[in-house]
Amino acid sequence: MDDFGSLLQTALQNSGLPYLSIRSMQNPQWPLNFERLCGTYNDPELEYDGESGNISAEVSTLSMHGGAIAYTCKDGAKVYKATLKALEGHGYYDSKKAVECAKAALAIHPVCPEAYNVLAIHDASNYEEALEIYSVFLPRAYHRGLFGVGNTLRKMGKFKEALVYYEKLAVLDQNPGSSSMSYMNYNAHLPELWLRVYGPQECLKRALKYKNKDCIEYHSCQIPWYANLTLALFAADHVTTYDFPEAKPRPANPDFTKEAVQSRMAPLYLLRNHPLVCELLTGMRRMPGGRIPTNFPGSESLLQAAVYATSCLDLWEQTPGALEYLRKMTNTQILGDKMAKGVDMTNPIIEVAPLLKLIDDGIFPNALHIGEEASHEPLLHMAIFQRPGADIIIEKLIAAGANVKIQVGPGLTALHKACYYACGRAVIRSLVNAGLSPLLRSPAGVVLRKPIMMAAEQGNWEELDECLNLLRTGNSEDLHKSILYVITSSSCIECVGGGAKCGRCANGDKKHGPNVSYTKMVDIIVERGCRLDEIELEGVKSGIGKRPGPLDDLGKGKCFIETVSWLPERT
| Least separation in angstroms between CB 503 and Zn ion | 6
Q: Is 215 in the site for Zn ion (CB under 5 A)?
A: no
Q: Is 504 in the site for Zn ion (CB under 5 A)?
A: yes
Q: Is 59 in the site for Zn ion (CB under 5 A)?
A: no
Q: What phi and psi values does residue 334 have, to the nearest 5 degrees?
A: -65, -45
Residue (of 271, 260, 232, 262) closest to 363 by Cα position: 271
Going through 189-317 in order, the beta strands assigned E by DSSP cover: 289-291
| Least separation in angstroms between CB 492 and Zn ion | 3
| Least separation in angstroms between CB 501 and Zn ion | 6
CA distances from 557 to 113, 499, 515, 534, 561 (A): 91, 21, 15, 21, 6
CB closer to Zn ion, 249 vs 498:
498
Q: Is 456 in the site for Zn ion (CB under 5 A)?
A: no
Residues 505-534 that bind Zn ion (CB under 5 A): 505
| Least separation in angstroms between CB 500 and Zn ion | 9
Q: Is 495 in the site for Zn ion (CB under 5 A)?
A: yes
| Least separation in angstroms between CB 485 and Zn ion | 16
| Least separation in angstroms between CB 519 and Zn ion | 16
Judged by CB under 5 A, the number of residues near Zn ion is 5
- Residue 506, CB half-sphere, CA atoms under 13 Å: how many? 9
Q: Is 108 in the site for Zn ion (CB under 5 A)?
A: no
CB closer to Zn ion, 38 vs 505:
505
Residue (of 262, 245, 279, 310) closest to 270 by Cα position: 279
233, 214 contact by CB (below 8 A): no
As a whole number of angstroms, the distance between CA 400 and CA 415 comes to: 19
As a whole number of angstroms, the distance between CA 231 and CA 536 comes to: 64
Residues 287-306 that bind Zn ion (CB under 5 A): none
Interaction pattern, residues 465-494, with Zn ion; x per rule: CB under 5 A: ---------------------------x--
| Least separation in angstroms between CB 498 and Zn ion | 10
Residues 178-207 that bind Zn ion (CB under 5 A): none
| Least separation in angstroms between CB 506 and Zn ion | 8
Spell out the alpha helix ranges (H) of 174-246: 176-182, 190-198, 200-207, 219-235
CA distances from 418 to 381, 455, 462, 516, 535 (A): 8, 8, 11, 14, 33
Q: Is 422 in the site for Zn ion (CB under 5 A)?
A: no
Counting Cβ atoms within 10 Å, is residue 166 exposed (0-12), middle (13-18) or buried (19+)?
Answer: buried
- Listed in sequence order, the residues at least 6 apart from 265 whose beta carbon sits closer than 8 Å to its beta carbon are 244, 246, 247, 259
Q: Is 280 in the site for Zn ion (CB under 5 A)?
A: no
Q: Is 65 in the site for Zn ion (CB under 5 A)?
A: no
CB closer to Zn ion, 8 vs 551:
551
Among 239-247, 391-399, 501-509, 523-531, which window interacts with Zn ion (CB under 5 A)? Answer: 501-509
Chain contacts with Zn ion (rule: CB under 5 A): 492, 495, 502, 504-505
